[in-house]
Amino acid sequence: MPFDVVSGLTGIVDAKSLSAKYLTVKDLTTIQDKVLLLLSNNNKQQVFWHNNDSGNRGQIKKKPKFTQNGLSCHKLTFVNHFKGQQETLNKVMCQDKHDLWQVM
């Protein structure tokens, strides 16, 4: 799926989080790909990611669809594992009128 279906995915990882400190660019690209896969499949509730280069891995879970400010949204939970640590991040992603997914 092309990256132009997503807007503002940089907000998936909070700048002050441990994930921002330890996840690599390839980790974040992999996470983005998995988020798109998860959001584009109504039957899928979770996906796993792993980067052999960094050894980092994680799980992304999707909650049921809901409406926020007239937009179709999902709450996503990211459980990232890196450097012997674990961090859980929660984000709301909504699809705008141009069908682009945005971190809210």
Give first-to-last CA distance, the chain, whole Å.
Answer: 21
Residues near 17 by beta carbon (within 8 Å), at least 6 away in sequence: 87, 89
pLDDT digit string (tens) for 40-60?
999 999 999 999 999 999 999
Domain ranges of the chain: 3-97
- Candidate from 7-11, 26-30, 87-91 with smallest mean pLDDT: 7-11
Average pLDDT over residues 30-45: 93
Whole-structure pTM value: 0.88
